[in-house]
Amino acid sequence: MISTEWGAPRVFGNGFKMEDVQAGHYGHQLHVWDWTKHTRIQSLDLGEDGQIPLGIRFLHNPESGQALLCCGLSSSILRVYKAEGGQWETEKVIQVGSKKVKGWMLPEMPGFISDIVISLDDRFLYFNNWLHGDVRQYDITDIHHPKMVGQVFIGGSIVKGGLVTVVEDTELDNQPDPLIIKGRRIPGGPQMIQLSLDGKRLYVTMSLYSAWDKQFYPDMIRSDQ
């Protein structure tokens, strides 16, 4: 089994502060366990590429010995694999760039990838950017060099009409339009995702954690509830 690190509950339970990251209260390691002996056999320090590692998903092919890992704060996808000699190693295969912004808590906004899913045929990877607001589809036929083949914005912090102004963006020419369903603007950003078994439908939820929802998406908390 391979486990990831988020952070100290006493810290993230009160909302996100960059000072807590700098103080070392958030994770940047993976831990490999012997499931038969219930002992830890290896820990991998992911460094700057692996700040706040969250979801890890193995390829479905039982002979592959590979997994993909999403790292929230660093907004990266790492390939986790067993190398010669039996040790586990990582390599970064996707990096989502931060956007320079005004009207937000920091001058640069990371995508904050919090969940990933791999299609049953191991052909496609799907992941979310909870802060930017988009869900992406990548072709991982060549897992060393994934290629983005789909993208849709579902809420997020950089949509038009919000408090945030994007002043520099290496990916988009304009801020995306907000998602409107039945006349209502959808608050929050895409978080947990699940792909149907036939690979034709992707289900998305918008809430990450109540304290973080209130901090980053206060419109999600309705006054009449």
pLDDT at 10 over 60: yes
- Give residue-wise pLDDT tens across range 48-84: 999 999 999 999 999 898 999 999 999 999 999 999 8
pLDDT at 224 over 70: no
Q: Note whether 157 and 164 are within 8 A (CB).
A: yes
CATH for 2-217 (3.10.20, 1.20.140, 3.40.50, 2.120.10): 2.120.10
Q: Note whether 197 and 120 are within 8 A (CB).
A: yes
- Give residue-wise pLDDT tens across range 126-171: 999 999 999 999 999 999 999 999 999 999 999 998 899 999 999 9
Residue 159 CB neighbours (<10 A): 20
Query: What integer pLDDT is reported at residue 212 of this predicted model?
Result: 94
Q: Is the pTM higher than 0.75?
A: yes
Query: What integer pLDDT is reported at residue 37 of this predicted model?
Result: 95
Burial profile 197-224: b = 16 or more Cβ within 10 angstroms, e = fewer: eeeeebebebebbeebbeebbeebeeee
- Give residue-wise pLDDT tens across range 77-117: 999 999 988 899 999 999 999 999 999 999 999 999 999 99
